[in-house]
Amino acid sequence: MNLQQLCHNANIIVKKVGAFIKHEAGNFDRGRVELKGFNNLVSYVDKEAEKQLVEALRNLLPEAGFITEEETDNTRGERFNWIIDPLDGTTNFTHGLPLYSVSVALLDGDEVVLGIVYEVNKDECFYATKGNGAFLNDNPIQVSPAEGLRDSLIATGFPYYEFGLTQQYLQVLGAFMGKSHGVRRLGSAALDLAYVAAGRFEGFFEYNLNAWDVAGGAIIVQEAGGHVSKFTAGGDYIFGREIVASNGNIHQEMLDTIAEHWKEQLP
């Protein structure tokens, strides 16, 4: 399989779906927003975008299965599986805040070998394939060279449910605020990861995430020279519901800072 050609073709699909999302944003009706759970929003745009992605990616790689946020198709393939978040940052989208993305990744067995994160409003397409580097709109990207937390800007996400660990999280957040240039919360984990890969952030951490939130961005960080793990050094950061991504230089500092206050794990 030629991963680079597959990624090129998948980029075309993702950008086409992104154009649909951008068009719908211009006339979006907030009355058509649904709740999957407390503070867990979904719109007809999420659902239609996912249907378009599944149909086109199925035609692109017929033997692949799917892991999808909106459950358009969750039929697993024997070897390959697409992991899809059709609109990462739905809350931003429904409130008219122009920070959201389309995230697509390809699993080969248990390993992510291709990732795409498309920022719709700025027309920025971040992508990577295993062993071939990371790119933004066809230009190579690398993580920031910053040596320590003291020189770093950190991204995170705030919990919108699962509030049982909020106090621990706030302690971790406070520690990062005191050790870095600051902490930002954009509302799209996929974009946070892409921005780490591009050197805009030095690090990112968040808990209570799903595979579709992180799979596409994680490989882009790695191929840009960064490092990705759970809150401890090892573990399954794709399906493990927590992630730390960094430029590599500050990774241990990030893990140590989290470990000072994060004593429990999600069930």
**What pLDDT was estimated at residue 20?**
94
pLDDT for the residue numbered 122:
97
- Interacting residues of 27 by C-beta distance below 8 A, sequence separation 6+: none
Q: For the segment 22-57, what is each residue's pLDDT rounded down to a tens digit? A: 998 887 666 666 555 443 455 788 889 999 999 999
Give me the sheet containing 65-68, strands edge to edge: 65-68, 80-88, 101-108, 111-119, 124-129, 134-136, 139-141
Residue with tokens 């709109």: 137
Topology, domain 149-259? D-Maltodextrin-Binding Protein; domain 2 (3.40.190)
Q: Residues within the annotated binding site?
A: 69, 85, 87-88, 213
Per-residue pLDDT, 234: 77
What are the extents of the domains in the chain? 3-141, 149-259
How confident is the model at residue 31, as a pLDDT? 61
At the second CATH level, the architecture of 3-141 is 2-Layer Sandwich (3.30)
Of 54, 52, 34, the residue nearest 44 (C-alpha) = 34
149-259 and 3-141 share a CATH fold: no
Annotated binding residues for Mg(2+), written as ranges, equal 69, 85, 87-88, 213
Model pTM? 0.93
Residue-level pLDDT at 40: 45
Which region, left, alpha or beta, applies to residue 192 given φ > 0 means left and ψ of -120 to 50 means alpha? Answer: alpha
Regions in the chain scoring below 70 on pLDDT:
28-42, 160-163, 264-267
Q: 47-83 burial by CB neighbour count: b if 16+ within 10 A, else e? A: bbbbbbbbebbbeebeebbbbbbbebbeeebeebbbb
Residue 187 is predicted with a pLDDT of 95
